[in-house]
Structure 1
């Protein structure tokens, strides 16, 4: 999955930077003029809202492929005052700051897909997607048993990201990989991409794929890598990893860590094995690199568990980003648990 572009929005002039970045992405994705214009309005509205009302606001822009085709994915994240009345804020025409459009109601109307979560006093996370071509929203799951979303952003000052992630869906089974190349920059990206290539071409249990990647990554600087394999029918999870990729199995009543062993793929590892865990119906799995602090929690915001996986990833990133390294968060849960 391609990294998202992160654009801080503290001042109004940064909204223009975000709009220009969105224009570049939609051009590369082949959007027509009308759809590109809709995407620009969504970015402008969300950016203006951040500049006027938020604290430590950031827009994330990503070119992704969903069941509906090529899509511009836009996240608005902030640590601001939050929204006390979401229903009122989403009323078409409601705007507290004289923004160019008509507030969040306009964003929801213009976007192909829209999700919002806010906690008064703790900030807001918004996901808005604009599809290159109109398609039913139900196509996003593509008939699979899983709902998956992730975010990957480069370290400050870097033009490439040393992290990577990927997912393979096979009906009621899924495998997810997260890789973090040592350090950051082009050589870290080379290492994580080497792990990604093995994941995309190899088959077998998580530990077997990692062992194959270890052998083929010896010419790189190495990477921390973990793979989770989920079986929706059996309600089970297999996990194997080397290095500091963190895994959590999280529900409203339980929070369990998935343990990786010490080592670095491509450099040195001990013999790997798969750990097995039960996967309760309402639990989601989170994998993330060490660009995210490991001791995060969702106290005071448990309602986020019912949200879109990308929104959950954004909420975790917004609260727990270390800010000095590449960062990746991936969330997967059963498709029927996806929130509105």
Structure 2
């Protein structure tokens, strides 16, 4: 990547919003970004350009390729000379800013990008500059296959089509991040809340757990809210880092030691307390089970087979079938070492 790849697009009308998106897509394709990343970044550019047209009439979008410590990415600068933003914190909450835009206003920008900085000086009428950065997810040429097996099973509450639970599995260079998220209640509003949280975590998966919980708290502020447990596994050290807010359960089977995760009551999106972050060394022979409160919590590891002949996906399905209740959405996620 060179400075010649930098592009600035003038934005002054609806047609320029589409133009900014198409030129962004062309640049990212040239830089060999993955298709899924391209679609999300184009959505961000649409949002930023739409924000300029609606609130400042005209401005610019500048696309700047990034290369730092062998990591590649894109920086997007949206600048205008409009009236500014009265409350920056409210502006990045989903649904607050651009009511008729393609993806939910500045809240979508905040969820999808790794870093967002908003500079607004409304009192001097000097407009707004928003700097949003996306970093490509790192891959390891020496370890293309994670040394973990992760399986999950989930279902909506019986009689409902939409699932208010969600799970995530993100493999990075030498780490794996997993999580179970439960939107408050069930149905469409719970579904929307859990998907907002999941999208935020996936877009920012390399951040610390504390930052991820803080970001979900902000991203879900206009939603019904969620409870969430995240666990990050370090492949080289067998160390696990845990954080949780709300009633997501964790159980360690086939192990003589089980971490005690200090529970934090609350709902992310509703001024929840920040989680206690705990680290512990994971026994490679053990199996970790994480589940929402749609499964009974009074079960024992000895009731189920966690042997080498049973895949984690099959185990998750068995747990879901045996333990799920009829009055809630249900999700279970199972993690083990591939070589145990």
Counterpart residue number, 2:287:
284
Q: Deviations over 1:262-284 (max 9, x none)?
A: 11000121233311111011112
Counterpart residue number, 2:31:
none
Q: Does 1:211 find its partner at 2:202?
A: no
Q: TM-score, normalised by structure 1?
A: 0.55
Whole-angstrom CA distance in 2 between matches of 1:301 and 1:219: 40
Q: TM-score, normalised by structure 2?
A: 0.55
Q: How many residues align?
A: 197
Whole-angstrom CA distance in 2 between matches of 1:149 and 1:264: 26
Q: Deviations over 1:148-176 (max 9, x none)?
A: 11011000110110000111112431101
1:220 to 223, 236, 247: 223
CA 1:155–1:204 in structure 2 vs 1: closer, same or farther (change >3 Å)?
same
2:149 to 147, 150, 154: 147
Counterpart residue number, 1:194:
196
CA 1:296–1:255 in structure 2 vs 1: closer, same or farther (change >3 Å)?
farther
Q: CA deviation at 1:207?
A: 2.0
CA 1:283–1:190 in structure 2 vs 1: closer, same or farther (change >3 Å)?
same
Whole-angstrom CA distance in 2 between matches of 1:255 and 1:206: 20
Unaligned runs of 5+ in 1: 1-140
CA 1:306–1:170 in structure 2 vs 1: closer, same or farther (change >3 Å)?
farther
- Matches for 1:6-155 after TM superposition, within 5 Å: 143-155=145-157
Whole-angstrom CA distance in 2 between matches of 1:299 and 1:241: 25
Whole-angstrom CA distance in 2 between matches of 1:174 and 1:298: 24
Unaligned runs of 5+ in 2: 1-142
1:309 to 308, 312, 319: 312
Q: Is the 8 A contact 2:253 2:301 kept in 1?
A: no
Whole-angstrom CA distance in 1 between matches of 2:208 and 2:147: 19
Q: CA deviation at 1:144?
A: 1.3
Q: Is the 8 A contact 1:247 1:257 kept in 2?
A: no
Q: CA deviation at 1:305?
A: 6.5
Whole-angstrom CA distance in 1 between matches of 2:305 and 2:285: 13
CA RMSD of aligned residues (A): 1.9
Whole-angstrom CA distance in 1 between matches of 2:174 and 2:297: 29
Whole-angstrom CA distance in 1 between matches of 2:213 and 2:330: 21
2:159 to 157, 160, 176: 157
Whole-angstrom CA distance in 1 between matches of 2:312 and 2:260: 19
CA 1:267–1:300 in structure 2 vs 1: closer, same or farther (change >3 Å)?
closer
- Give the match's secondary structure for 1:272: coil
